Amino acid sequence: MLTWLQTSTPGLLLLSAVGIAVLLTMIIKFKVEPFIALLIAGVLVALAAGVSIERLVGSAQAAKESLIETGFGGVLGHVAAIIGLGTLLGAILEASGGAEVLTRKLLGLFGENRAPLAMGLAGLIFGIPVFFDIGIFVLAPLVYVAAKRSGKSIVLYAMPLLAGLSVMHAFLPPHPGPVALAGLLKVDLGWLIIMGLACAIPAWLIGGVIYSSWIGKRINIPVAEELVAAGAAFADKNKDRREPSLALVCFIIGLPLVLILGATFGSVLLPKGNQVLNVLTFFGNPAIALTIALLLALWLLGTRRGMTGKEIGDMTGAALRPVGMILLVIGAGGFFGAVLSATGVGKALAGTLSDAGLPFIVLSYVIACGLRIAQGSATVAIVTTAGIVAPLLKDAGYSQPQLALIGAAIAAGSIIASHVNDGGFWIVSKYFGIPTKETLQTWTVLETILSLVGFGVAAILSVLIG
């Protein structure tokens, strides 16, 4: 029986399925931290598949060859600096009042009647450098104020904002999921940005603008008085702050994207070895681009506007504390994927899928959807799916744009059907005062629409490019 599991295609597929089932059981039923669950599941699958102890944990002579070190190190070497720098960039934008300036300017530009659209654009723009939950914490008080002034349902203002934050968090670097995708699938971040935007914008328009406007008029949730008080306190706290200009905020947010895209387009348009290409490649390296943006932000939004060194140090220290667990989950996901690759399940599954005729982009989306619905975390769904799919793509001959579209499909699957096992579900419910039933009717449906539209665009583009 053990030999059959380790050598036959059905046995390897069964072993992979059991490993994933064990992983999900630990996370869902026994509430094991995803980092620990991924590590345990990876070790168990490796042992059951007959991977040698030396290959799994290394030896005194060849420690660097162990799956644990190569699995963790391979992906973390690519993503750790980018996630850390992106987190700090979002923190300085939050602390400086840049988010409030951006949102208030948009509200003034679009007027009260189009305030939901302004909130959606604020989520879309501010969601580029800022994590989803931080974006809610920062921008929620502005939603309270807008809903109170209009006397309309808070759903009308919250859903567009949430849609913008959600699609940026799922599809674009420097957020953990997309950065992990780039590392695991070996795809250029520039292409991931291009294809991510191509999928995210239509999803936001349909889910965040059209659907949110429709559902906001049908589910009336008045803004709670305690939320109004929170919004007023937020306004009082920031009324004397010397604000950064809108142009400066947009410059800081857009600079790293422009630099990264410059390197991507340069590699396509310029010959190899060209001096201009070398310059574009250097400044377009994601870590370099984000470092430049962060240093400018710390100076322009921090030091020049009166922040002391201690204040900046406290802010950056607090911002980096949650990053540790994110990196551990991503690293463990890389290890789990390395184990699946070492067992040979990738080749076995590739052969099975080839016989079934199922496109990789569809497979990737379905796996990500299943993991998201089962365990709740979008980042875990992305990392685990990429770890499963990466071995299949290794020798498939996909181009960088095609790999980026597969990554976008995985990102789309990772946000489908947010429900009670997702921490984001409860943040939305509690921060905006929306009861559980109505959160399922609004937020859960919104996430599903964003997922389906994002995948639909990725699938169409993959056909056109292929």
- Mind listing the pLDDT tens digit for each residue in 80-98? 888 788 888 878 887 787 8
For residue 347, what pLDDT is reported? 61
DSSP letter assigned to residue 270: S
**pLDDT above 90 for 413:** yes
Whole-angstrom distance, CA of residue 297 vs CA of residue 285: 18
**pLDDT above 60 for 233:** no
Whole-angstrom distance, CA of residue 323 vs CA of residue 319: 8
Residues 6+ apart with CB under 8 A from 345: 12, 13, 15, 16, 49, 391
For residue 305, what pLDDT is reported? 82
Phi, psi of 328 (to 5 degrees): -65, -40
For residue 397, what pLDDT is reported? 82
Report the percentage of the chain scoring pLDDT > 70. Answer: 89
Least confident of 29-38, 198-207, 290-299: 29-38
For range 312-327, the mean pLDDT: 83
How do residues 285-313 score in pLDDT, each as one tens digit?
888 999 999 999 999 988 888 888 888 88
For residue 401, what pLDDT is reported? 95
First-to-last C-alpha distance (Å) of the chain? 41
DSSP letter assigned to residue 245: P
**pLDDT above 70 for 61:** no
For residue 32, what pLDDT is reported? 86
Confidence of residue 210 (pLDDT cuts 50, 70, 90): very high
Whole-angstrom distance, CA of residue 170 vs CA of residue 178: 7
For residue 2, what pLDDT is reported? 60
Dihedral sign from CA coordinates of 71, 75, 76, 77: positive
Whole-angstrom distance, CA of residue 388 vs CA of residue 385: 5
Cβ–Cβ under 8 Å, residues 58 and 66 = yes
Phi, psi of 64 (to 5 degrees): -70, -15
Please report where in the chains the tokens 């010959």 appear, as a residue.
Answer: 271
Dihedral sign from CA coordinates of 239, 241, 247, 250: negative
For residue 357, what pLDDT is reported? 66
**pLDDT above 60 for 371:** yes
Confidence of residue 444 (pLDDT cuts 50, 70, 90): very high
How do residues 154-199 score in pLDDT, each as one tens digit?
999 999 999 999 999 999 988 888 988 998 899 999 999 999 999 9
Tokens of 282: 């250097």
| CA distance readout (Å), 161 to 124, 132, 138, 195 | 7, 10, 11, 22
Whole-angstrom distance, CA of residue 50 vs CA of residue 298: 51
For residue 228, what pLDDT is reported? 62
Most confident of 103-107, 234-238, 271-275, 398-402: 398-402
Whole-angstrom distance, CA of residue 286 vs CA of residue 282: 9
Better-predicted residue by pLDDT, 136 or 217: 217
Cβ–Cβ under 8 Å, residues 94 and 316 = no
For residue 445, what pLDDT is reported? 97
For residue 219, what pLDDT is reported? 95
Confidence of residue 244 (pLDDT cuts 50, 70, 90): confident
What does the angle CA 259 – CA 263 – CA 264 come to, to the nearest 5 degrees? 115
Whole-angstrom distance, CA of residue 391 vs CA of residue 81: 25
Element counts in the chain: helices (H) and strands (E) = 25, 0
For residue 91, what pLDDT is reported? 81
How do residues 325-365 score in pLDDT, each as one tens digit?
778 887 887 888 788 778 876 666 655 655 666 788 998 99
- Mean pLDDT score of the chain, rounded to an integer? 84
